[in-house]
Amino acid sequence: MSTTATPTEIVILGAGPAGLGAAYQLAKQRKARVTVVEQRDTVGGAAGSFEVGGVRVDHGSHRLHPECDPAILADLRALLGDDLLLRPRHGRIRLRGRWIHFPLKPLDLLRRLPPGFVLGAAADAVTGPLRRRRREPETFASVLERGIGPTICRDFYFPYAEKVWGVPVEDISPVQARRRVTVNSPSKLLARVARGMRRKAPASFYWPRRGYGQIAEHLREAAERSGATVLMGTRVEAVETLGGRAVAVRARRGDARERLAASHVWSTVPMTTLVRLIEPAPPAAVREAAASLRFRAIVLVYLVLEAGRFSEYDAHYFPEADVAISRLSEPKNYAALTEPRDRTVLCAEVPCDVGDAVWAMSDEELRDLVAASLARAGIPLRVPVAEVTTRRLSHGYPVYLAGFERHFDAVDAWLGEIDGLLTFGRQGLFAHDNTHHALHMAYAAVASLGMDGRFDRERWSAFRAVFDKHVVVD
Ligand SMILES: Cc1cc2nc3c(=O)[nH]c(=O)nc-3n(C[C@H](O)[C@H](O)[C@H](O)COP(=O)(O)OP(=O)(O)OC[C@H]3O[C@@H](n4cnc5c(N)ncnc54)[C@H](O)[C@@H]3O)c2cc1C
């Protein structure tokens, strides 16, 4: 139990947006002495940036969505100033061999959608009320097929879902369809198209001039300016608990080991990793539940092309099963950069599982896989690839397998019993969330901590109920 006599010492695991957002707010509000421990040498986690071929790139396509909480957005605006650009979205989706603008535009849809697809989707909308609820347990497939109809499911949602999550749609939980798919009924689809018709300006997103990672870099600077310490290249090896309370974090940087005493440990690392870090180890049932929670991996393949530009689009989406990549982005187009003039970089996202054939491929094999995928999709590389770089994300997406809630609840309940320990963020709450959601969690955690160092569990539970309603913005 914290007292006002000793200062509140919070050790935060992970310097992604969630960890740094919390560090910044805790330090700024003088609620605690804060140390952030990050295993990598760069901040931002999956939302960080780095350089390839003289171009700043992100971990796949990243945008800050205008749905961000206004108070958080105001903070980011103040931190990034003129570097936070508002940019029009300009992507496209490949559907039955044709390219459709994304976000959807009514005229473009009318002109480009294959007639068979339009007729099928329209018939599905009309017959929607006749589609019955199945008796057996619902799945991602049954909820979406009943809601939006078989045509859009067959041509778009199902192959894309199976590619991204790596399991048959019948094995995916209905929670994925209800909470994570924004357009899951004809009325929502029509509403989205109507929104496109009413919109005077194009759909837009925020993007930092020097790459998405600038958000985390500015949060780090602001946190440090307010007194927080950020330890980079330092891997957390254990979270010590004593009498049911988190008391310290053990970390390692190279050969150096450090023990950080803490009155609170706030973790943003994958919740399955956190379970393995806690000492003494949890009961076998909790370890088994954690082992049943699955993450999908992503290999990111960066191709440096000897050309000023590959295409006019920021991102291309590939739902088709016979194209290995799920998305291709061209970072220079996110901020309409013209420099460097003779080079551009493409980033292809290849979903896979840790240790499978794709994960194990060499850079050259991955370059060839991406080149073959683009050729199959009708947009071949027409210029030489000067360089290939790859990055691997072992925890790309949480996979909501049917029945995952049972395992999640068991882990969540056990972690929730440890005083002073909190888990949040995309990995920490096993949530397929955006950056603005991760920041919302961070701000909510800080709001739940009193100036006296007492953490208000009831307030946090109320916030958790709000997090459950987060819907991913594509
Ligand atoms: C391909 C892709 C595209 C995305 N596109 C968008 C988008 O367009 N818009 C959007 O809003 N969101 C997008 N997201 C989601 C966004 O990246 C996340 O919401 C955000 O990164 C979550 O931040 P976080 O701090 O919760 O977690 P993370 O960013 O995962 O940070 C966790 C940190 O913990 C560190 N860590 C893990 N284990 C240890 C350890 N043992 N010791 C020390 N440190 C450790 C990691 O290195 C990492 O830095 C995308 C995600 C992916 C994968």
Q: Do 111 and 257 share a structural domain?
A: no
Comparing C-alpha atoms, which of 16, 115, 104 is closest to residue 58?
A: 16
Q: Which secondary-structure segment (H or E) carries 242?
A: strand 235-242
Note whether residue 373 is domain-resident: no
Determine if ligand 1 sits within 6 Å of the CB of residue 139.
no
Note whether residue 84 is domain-resident: no
Q: How much is the mean pLDDT over the chain?
A: 92
Q: Do 177 and 138 share a structural domain?
A: yes
Determine if ligand 1 sits within 6 Å of the CB of residue 35.
no
Quote the pLDDT of residue 414.
Answer: 98
Q: Do 157 and 225 share a structural domain?
A: no
pLDDT band at 11 (very low <50, low <70, confident <90, very high): very high
Note whether residue 168 is domain-resident: yes
Q: Are strands 33-37 and 229-231 parallel, antiparallel or unpaired?
A: parallel
Determine if ligand 1 sits within 6 Å of the CB of residue 14.
yes
Note whether residue 350 is domain-resident: no
Q: Do 216 and 194 share a structural domain?
A: no
Neighbours of 149 (CB within 10 A): 23
Q: Write the pLDDT tens digit of every residue in 331-380.
A: 999 988 888 999 999 999 999 999 999 999 999 999 999 999 999 999 99
Note whether residue 220 is domain-resident: yes
**Best mutation site among 12, 39, 441 for ligand 1 pocket (most ligand atoms within 8 Å of CB):** 39
Quote the pLDDT of residue 110.
Answer: 79
The domain containing residue 169 runs over which residues? 102-198
pLDDT band at 183 (very low <50, low <70, confident <90, very high): low
Q: Do 222 and 147 share a structural domain?
A: no
Q: Write the pLDDT tens digit of every residue in 121-169.
A: 888 877 777 766 666 788 999 988 888 888 888 888 899 999 999 999 9
Q: Do 216 and 281 share a structural domain?
A: yes
Q: Do 443 and 414 share a structural domain?
A: yes
Given a contact cutoff of 8 angstroms between Cβ atoms, the answer to whether 46 and 61 are in contact is no
Distance from residue 43's CA to the centre of ligand 1 (Å): 10
d(CA 43, CA 14): 9
Q: Do 279 and 131 share a structural domain?
A: no
Among protein residues, the one whose CA lies closest to atom 14 of ligand 1? 434
Distance from residue 51's CA to the centre of ligand 1 (Å): 18
Distance from residue 14's CA to the centre of ligand 1 (Å): 9
Nearest-atom number in ligand 1 for the CA of 426 is 26
**Best mutation site among 62, 295, 300 for ligand 1 pocket (most ligand atoms within 8 Å of CB):** 62
Q: Do 246 and 189 share a structural domain?
A: no
Determine if ligand 1 sits within 6 Å of the CB of residue 263.
no
Note whether residue 207 is domain-resident: no
User: Which of 145, 173, 198 is the last residue in one of the domains?
Assistant: 198
Q: Do 432 and 283 share a structural domain?
A: yes
Q: How many CA atoms lie within 13 A of 85 on its CB side?
A: 16
The tokens for 169 are 């749609």
Q: Write the pLDDT tens digit of every residue in 287-331.
A: 999 999 999 999 999 999 999 999 999 999 999 999 999 999 999
User: Which of 176, 198, 220 is the last residue in one of the domains?
Assistant: 198
Quote the pLDDT of residue 315.
Answer: 97
Distance from residue 270's CA to the centre of ligand 1 (Å): 10
Note whether residue 361 is domain-resident: no
Quote the pLDDT of residue 261.
Answer: 97
The tokens for 244 are 């049911």
- DSSP class per residue in 132-160: PPPSSPP-HHHHHHHHH-HHHIIIIIHHH
Q: Which secondary-structure segment (H or E) carries 74?
A: helix 70-80
What is the arithmetic mean of pLDDT over 239-251?
98
Q: Which secondary-structure segment (H or E) carries 19?
A: helix 17-28
Determine if ligand 1 sits within 6 Å of the CB of residue 22.
no
pTM score: 0.94
Neighbours of 180 (CB within 10 A): 22
User: Which of 198, 224, 250 is the last residue in one of the domains?
Assistant: 198
Q: Do 412 and 285 share a structural domain?
A: yes
Determine if ligand 1 sits within 6 Å of the CB of residue 186.
no
> Which alpha helices (H) appear in 348-401, and where do they start and end?
363-376
Determine if ligand 1 sits within 6 Å of the CB of residue 300.
no
Distance from residue 39's CA to the centre of ligand 1 (Å): 13
Domain count, the chain: 2
Long-range contacts made by residues 156-159, C-beta under 8 angstroms, separation at least 24? 156/93, 156/95, 156/319, 157/181, 157/319, 159/319, 159/320, 159/321
> Exposure of 385 by Cβ count < 10 A (0-12 exposed, 13-18 middle, 19+ buried)?
middle
Looking up residue 417, the CATH number of its domain turns out to be 3.50.50.60
Note whether residue 365 is domain-resident: no
Q: Do 409 and 271 share a structural domain?
A: yes
* Per-residue DSSP letter, 62: -
